[in-house]
Structure 1
Amino acid sequence: MVDPRTPVIVGVGQFTERVDDSGYRGMSAVDLATEAVRAALADTGADAGAVAGAIEVFAGLRQFEICTPFADPPLGASDNYLRSVAQRVGADPARAVLEPIGGNGPQKLVTEFATAIAAGDVEVVLVVGSEPGSTTKYFAKRDDKPDFTERVGGQLEDRGYGFEQYMSDYTVAHGLTGAPVQYGLLDNARRARTGLGVEGYRREMAELFAPFTEIAAKNPFSSSPVQRSVEELMTVTDDNRMICDPYPRLMVARDTVNQGAAALVMSVAAARKLGVPEEKWVYLRGHADQTEQDLLDRADLSVSVSAEQAVAEALRVAGIGIDQVATFDLYSCFPFPVFAVCDAFGLAPDDPRGLTLTGGLPYFGGPGNSYSLHGIAETVAEMRDKPGTFGLVGANGGVMSKYSVGVYSTEPADWVADRSKALQDDIAALPKVPVTRHVNGRGTIETYSVRYDWPVRTGIIIGRLESDGSRFMAITEDDDLVALMTDSDPLGAVVDVTADGDKNRATRA
């Protein structure tokens, strides 16, 4: 017997529509989420109407189209996404919560509200997310555009956008305006540490991701169910063009998807009251949330302290070691987040347990901030199929900025609090690299990326000044330097840097 306030996940749901499906509808964010919630309600094995009526909190993830205040959703949107979904499934929650940007959000919300359930503050919570990127692209050049505008009003706890945590005027001025270039800097920093050349590292990334495609090919919720070889992933072609160094297209998260996911969390007491069969219950046995230093402050750009600490703490709370984990779903927008966990815990890319249950963001699909809700759904299903084993979900947000971990199992145990706050103090106490914003001098390239996705091919550099070892950023369109960055290996190369307004510009020394 466990404490009746112990939180359990009792229902999970997923939904995907592909543009090449015969019944493709081009659904809205609300419609996609509604399908996922209905699936989660049915998955409980209890009366769906009674469960829906018992939900006290709808907690949701932002779609890309509502992630900034700078543009309106191109096809319109609800003014209260969560209450639009609630109305469609017969729920009337007392509280609706919209989480800031971050792929860590699904696991962070599950942990947050599981904690609240354990404290007796609430009994039944739904976590939901969806992404209509496919719909947006499908209707972009069509005249028959739908209007998804809804005015439902009602209470909404909007926690803000949160993008300011991942970028600054300085980094934006130097080209860090998208995830591929940001993670390209991290993967190339890791390449510098491994000592691999450009081709060798591209092969290592492909060897990491090829098994992911095998999982995606078998997953009925996958947006791209195609198995691909190592050679196919690493070979640059017109179809597999370079996006931002070191990534060809097939190693980049696939965000043009229509996907939704949902998870129902409730107390053991509520599960019993609502008639949810015990074989549906999955416990959140371990959990932790950590926030990394700002990108340019980090002493070593090739590792993730937050991911390592969060995984280690979640395992400690669960009372197990990494060898006792039966399944993993590690956030995989690019290779680096997977490598960061593998490096820290000695996991091999070909670990027989696998590193994903979905198939990963480039192949299963990267539905914005809500991807890891699919990872949680798959993990819950696996735990039910393998009673007594443990599954780990690693959810990542920003530029390896926030990492949230959950360890799941059908093995019952009372709720155990984690030490995330105390561990966060350890990260806050780490040394910071000094940064020189305006540079006139000579430096060396610490890491880099190249933006092939801009009209003019542009190099992005993080370097160290020869004069004092401080870190700087620079941008370059210099033919000689860009050629070095695209055709050879610029790590450690010497560059001349000149301040030009809000930018530093680099040329080959």
Structure 2
Amino acid sequence: MPAESRRVLPVLVGGGQTIDRPEDPTAGREPLLLMEEAAQRAAEDAGGGARLLAAVDTVAVPTVVCHDYGDAAGLLAERLGCPGARRLNTTLGGNTPQALVNHLADEIAAGRIAVALIAGAEAWHTARALGRAGRRIPWTPPRPEDAPRWGDGRPGSSELEIRHGAAQPITTYPLFENAFRAARGLGLAAHRRELADFAARSAALAARNPYAWFRDSKSAGELGTVTPENRMIGFPYPKFMNAILDVNQGAAVVLAADDAARRLGVAEDRWVYPWAGVDVIEHWYLLDRVDYHSLPGVRRAGAALLESVGLTIERVAHLDLYSCFPIAPRLTAAMLGIPFDDPRPLTVTGGLPWFGGPGNNYTTHAIVALVERLRAARDAFGLVHANGWHLTKHALGIYGGTPSPRGWQRAGGPALQAWVDALPHPEVVVEATGRGTVEAYTIMHGRDGAPQQGTVIGRLAGGGRFVAVLPRDAALLEAMEQEEQVGRAGMVRREQGLNVFLPA
């Protein structure tokens, strides 16, 4: 009989980060150089250095938003000394780093690749400084790509959502936040305190992170109080609770097959073990969601992930739940069965509003931070959640300080996605008129701090769903921030091609 084939274990052998904050922001380095430095640090962290980088057979780069290089993975591979590596350039999405870990762990476990690098960076801080100075951005020009981008590249919003102001994250995440508050029966004052306390805990964690952009550990009062510096953006989030893209940050991780890691001389005390991963997509468009206070796909995916490795959520010591806005980690935590009063922080990194929001690559930083904790406590487990678009695309992974007795597990799959896709949802009424009730809402403010416009998602008397703008009436908009609006009745009418909601 032929010998039983040995199970290949994917191992995460190194992680590196960099932050670039020169006194003159126009002098900052371009993202390609930040990626290169982070990758070199990841290889050094593994103890493999240039020899490890030369062995990389797959280079994956989450799309750089501030300067799209085209074939960024190819450019990076050449700089790192592995020009023949397979290249993965990705679509947009904050879910990308963990989704790549899941995919590359699959590839390693199947024996198709041996050593893979994930590296990404953003340098918006320098790009915007150059723009303000009226100077051309002197960075490496884009290189044409010869393969489709990896990932789901569908537009994140429908034309109807775009026309009614429900397409930008600064609007859509507040819609979820207000619906989540109302579903829990939380009053506005208690909700403001909850948000401020959550933000302060995250900011304190960021302050202890040497790669964080903001290390001033603002208090709950500073984070939750609206001031000229901390103006309201989209109710209920003032500026300090919004993801901050104006950063120069890079991060990278190296994954390898266990036998390749040994062959390359990477000591096992550097290894951390991806145990399992899962990917899931909620109903794609915002208006097609089941509701705005739950994520049924994440709930089911999280349960499948934990079941695949025989763990409960209580066993997971370290969490990094995607945190572009406060609703994202708190709603994800609820879907994972984590109580609101659970003492575990929901981030090991600090969160995008406080650590910094380097585009699609934030979760690579989170994975590096998690690796450090698992190396220090080998009996512990960590869970990473990454999210793209409007709580749309999700990737989750469980990591351990010791090997999984089951080997790498891929949870979910087509059956999970088919279950989500089959979930019923209200019919969307494109041209809506008649009586309606608010499901979710937000009020958007201008740079002067004054309310300018609002967006409502609601249900018509017949059960259909509508999206509408609010009248540009400052007094009305201000009043709507003083009382709960979810459940409020009103009339929907058509004006200049838009649905307009008039509160009763």
Q: TM-score range by the shorter chain?
A: over 0.9
Provide the residue aligned with 2:163 in structure 1: 173
Structure 2 partner of 1:83: 74
Q: Match of 2:138, SS?
A: coil
**What SS class does the counterpart of residue 175 from structure 2 fall into?**
helix
Per the alignment, residue 40 of structure 2 pairs with 38
Contact 1:17-1:24 within 8 A present in 2 as well = no
3-state SS, counterpart of residue 202 of structure 2: helix
1:38-85 per-position Cα deviation (integer Å, ceiling 9, x unaligned): 111111112x222111111111111223xxxxxxx5xxx534212222
Matches within 5 A, 1:22-61: 25-46=27-48, 48-61=49-62
Alpha-carbon distance in structure 1 between the residues aligned to 2:446 and 2:153? 25
Question: What is the match of residue 462 of structure 1?
Answer: 457
In structure 2, how many angstroms separate the alpha carbons of the residues matched to 1:408 and 1:137?
Answer: 36
Residue 270 in structure 1 maps to residue 253 in structure 2: no
Q: CA separation in 2, counterparts of 1:61 and 1:441? A: 45
Query: Pairwise mapping of residues 86-485 of structure 1 onto structure 2 (< 5 A)?
Result: 86-150=77-141, 152=143, 155-159=146-150, 162-164=153-155, 166-293=156-283, 294-348=285-339, 351-413=342-404, 414-453=407-446, 457-466=452-461, 468-479=462-473, 481-485=476-480
Instruction: Specify the SS of the correspondent of 2:317.
Output: strand
Identity among equivalent positions (%) equals 36
Q: Distance in 1 between matches of 2:198 and 2:352?
A: 13
CA distance, structure 2, for counterparts of residue 350 and residue 101 of structure 1: 34
Q: Distance in 2 between matches of 1:163 and 1:256?
A: 25
Work out the CA distance in 1 between the residues paired with 2:100 and 2:477. 43
Question: Is it true that 1:7 corresponds to 2:2 in the alignment?
Answer: no
Partner of 1:498: 493
Counterpart amino acid of residue 55 in structure 1: V
TM-score, normalising length from structure 2?
0.93
Task: Tell me if structure 2 keeps the 8 A contact 1:290–1:309.
Answer: no
Counterpart Cα distance in 2 of 1:96 and 1:86 = 8
Distance 1:504 1:320, change over 3 A: same
Query: Normalising by structure 1, what TM-score?
Result: 0.92
2: CA distance between counterparts of 1:23 and 1:276?
A: 37
What is the Cα deviation at residue 346 of structure 1?
4.1
- Aligned counterpart, 1:70: none
| Greater CA drift, 439-448 or 111-120 | 439-448
Q: 2:484 aligns with which of 489, 502, 505?
A: 489
Alpha-carbon RMSD across the aligned residues, in angstroms, is: 2.1
Which one-letter code corresponds to 1:361 in the other structure? L
TM-aligned CA distance change 1:196 to 1:41, over 3 Å = same
Q: Which SS does the other structure have where 2:27 is aligned?
A: coil
Q: 1:348-387 CA distances to partner (integer Å, 9 max, x unpaired)?
A: 4563332111111110011111111111111111111111
1:250-301, CA deviations, whole angstroms, 9 ceiling, x for partnerless residues? 1111111111111111101110111110111111112111110132222221
Deviation at 1:157, TM superposition (A): 4.2
Indicate the larger mover: 272-281 or 293-302: 293-302
Instruction: Note the residue ranges of structure 2 that are not aligned, 5 or more in a row.
Output: none
Q: Which moved more, 1:286-295 or 1:496-505?
A: 496-505
Cα deviation for residue 345 of structure 1 reads: 3.8
Residues in 2 aligned to 1:221 and 1:230: alpha-carbon distance in whole angstroms: 22
1:55–1:92: 8 Å Cα contact kept in structure 2? no
3-state SS in 2 of match to 1:411 = coil
Give, in angstroms, the shift of residue 457 of structure 1: 0.3
The count of corresponding residues between Structure 1 and Structure 2 is 494
Q: In structure 2, what is the Cα distance between the partners aligned to 1:434 and 1:22?
A: 53
Unaligned regions of 5+ residues in structure 1, if any? 66-72
3-state DSSP class of the match of 1:237? Answer: coil
Alpha-carbon offset, residue 144 of structure 1 = 4.4
- Aligned partners of 1:484 and 1:490 also within 8 Å: no
Aligned to 2:17, the other structure's residue is in SS state strand
What displacement does 1:163 show?
Answer: 4.9
State the Cα distance separating 1:155 from its structure 2 match. Answer: 4.6
SS in structure 2 at match of 1:264: strand
Compared with structure 1, are the counterparts of its residues 163 and 250 closer, same or farther at alpha carbon in structure 2 (3 Å cutoff)?
farther
Compute the displacement of 1:493 (Å).
2.2
Which of structure 1's runs of 4+ aligned residues deviate more than 4 A? 21-24, 151-157
- Aligned-partner SS, 1:400: coil
Query: Structure 1 stretch 220-229 or stretch 189-198: which is displaced more?
Result: 189-198
Q: CA deviation at 1:428?
A: 1.4
| 1:69 equivalent in structure 2 | none
Q: Which residue identity lines up with residue 496 of structure 1 in the other structure? A: M
SS in structure 2 at match of 1:289 = strand
State the alpha-carbon separation in 2 of the partners of residues 444 and 327 from structure 1: 40
Q: Deviations over 1:86-120 (max 9, x none)?
A: 22222214321111111111000010011011111
TM-superposed CA distance for 1:504, in Å, is: 0.7
Q: Distance in 1 between matches of 2:40 and 2:24?
A: 22
- Whole-Å separation in 2 of the counterparts to 1:173 and 1:482: 19
Asked if the contact 2:302/2:336 (under 8 Å) is kept, the reply is no
Aligned residue number for residue 63 of structure 1: 64
Q: Distance in 2 between matches of 1:87 and 1:278?
A: 28
Contact kept, 8 Å, 1:310 with 1:404, in 2: the verdict is no
After TM superposition, give the deviation of residue 184 of structure 1 in Å: 0.7
Amino acid at match of 2:396: V
Distance 2:195 2:345 in 1: 15
Partner of 1:17: 20
